[in-house]
Structure 1
């Protein structure tokens, strides 16, 4: 859960945190700073990442080479060039053994072994074996995967529900996903049915049922 009343802000080559009034509640002293999620924020000091609370106090000392925001009570971090997952005390729940990894979403996380991507659960068990050229977080029960430079969608058993045939794709939101075919943008539903034909050069996010579009004419 994001704490929307606290925002990273950049001043004098350092990051701090401001409130909605623009007042610094944590003075700029970090080299990089993420949003707060689940009560903590990842920050960088001297090329190492740790986690602070809303007072700016380090709860987890900076010792990681990279760090993601907390999601579903765990955070993905990199140590000695391998990725693993820690809890809010900084203890490794899943040891750093992956070549690449992403945050947990809907109970699963992308994990890379060798050159291929699959999905693990919070025990570290491989739920979907690494077999994809690329993979993204689950959203609304589906995840975008890449096979031979084409994008499609799988369910949580790893079954392909929408064949990889798109040149680009985004996560599902409210039942629709943005897709790209031959540099044109459209939308599909969860069955793969085209809802909006890919004929636009750009489409904004839908808000209150409407979206802004762009068509480039010669």
Structure 2
């Protein structure tokens, strides 16, 4: 019986930790709701940040501390400024000095850096003079400070530059794509784009293939096609650098669910991977499909269509005002979408139901 109770408590703890919460502001106070729309943390804070790595920074009087998802204070307020927890560590400021802490609030000794950077993919960038390197969570330097620029790591890879040339490195400093290109994109599933002298092309592994006539290529996403431009028109290329859909559109966005939004004749529609219209151009704006199988489309306001092109949620919302939204997080994320109506923010599910039947003065995306 005792083992069953302990196991149940462990499962409950894991469930709470895995639960995503969204920061919301009701009147003048900030709290956090779960995906049922109910408060997990009551709105009691004047200033607070999103959850990240299981903790959220909250301000009490003049100091910042961190709460867990049960609303209990985990790290007592004692910091003048904070970043977000990632990989179990967070950069904080106290008495004018920045340093790292762990989830117990203990100060961590790390290699010297002129500027403090957040951990991503298990490493943090360090700046020594005019050069950039990186170190891991144990404080071990994994990349000597020999680069001019290292962009934030994503899924274990980062764009890096030396002497005006760009390539891709991993968190151990291994060169994945040689640092010899004028520009390079994000490294996704072993593929990226690059510019070499005046030519644009695709790199699959570390082999560069020129895309005939291309003067711009966008990052690859969830599928093996990405969009590219030639002579002012946009089409789609594969990871071998071959034009799969000839450039004939004024604008385009990424494929997902085997559909991509394209702009032609002053309106947006959706094509399949053969380049044929599944949804004829009829919208003033359109975004890529999410993994939930819905895409935001705009008439006077925003609604959502399914992969057959059927409008399943009416066009009566705003979705992309402020908060630095990108194409990747507009619309549905994990079964809910952040929307605005009549000046208030809330969340709807894939059926169009308002979570908790409640609107807020402000709302952010759900985070772990």
In structure 2, do the counterparts of structure 1 residues 191 and 59 end up closer, same or farther at CA, with 3 Å as the change threshold?
Answer: closer
Aligned counterpart for 2:263 among listed residues 129, 146, 150:
146
Q: Which moved more, 1:140-149 or 1:64-73?
A: 64-73
Worse-superposed segment, 44-53 or 134-143: 44-53
Does 1:119 find its partner at 2:220? no
Match for residue 99 of structure 1 among 185, 196, 215:
215
Is structure 2 residue 341 aligned with structure 1 residue 212?
no
1: CA distance between counterparts of 2:335 and 2:142?
A: 37
Structure 2 unpaired stretches of 5+: 1-119, 321-329, 344-368
For residue 35 of structure 1, what is the aligned residue in structure 2?
153
Aligned to 1:6: 122
Task: For 2:336 and 2:241, locate their aligned partners in 1 and report how far apart those are by CA, in whole Å.
Answer: 41
| C-alpha distance in structure 1 between counterparts of 2:234 and 2:334, whole Å | 36
1:28-84 CA distance string (max 9 Å, x none): 6542414344x5422233432112122224344422121112234322001223310
What is the aligned-residue RMSD (CA, Å)? 3.2
Cα pair 1:6 1:17 within 8 Å, conserved: no
The alpha-carbon deviation at position 165 of structure 1 amounts to 1.9
Q: 1:206 to 1:129 in 2, by over 3 A?
A: closer
For 2:101, the equivalent position in structure 1 comes to none
Counting only pairs closer than 5 Å after superposition, residues 84-95 of structure 1 correspond to structure 2 as 84-89=201-206, 91-92=207-208, 94-95=209-210
TM-score (norm 1): 0.77
* Corresponding residue to 1:79 among 196, 205, 227: 196
**Larger relative contact order (Cα-Cα within 8 Å, sequence gap ≥ 6):** 2
Greater gyration radius: 2
CA change 1:148–1:80 in 2 (3 A) is farther
Q: Which residue of 1 aligns with 2:279?
A: 162
Aligned with 2:261: secondary structure? strand
**C-alpha displacement at 1:169, in angstroms?**
1.6
5+ residue gaps, structure 1: none
Q: Deviations over 1:98-117 (max 9, x none)?
A: 21223445232323221111
Pair 1:133 & 2:259 matched: no
Instruction: For 1:10 and 1:65, locate their aligned partners in 2 and report how far apart those are by CA, in whole Å.
Output: 24
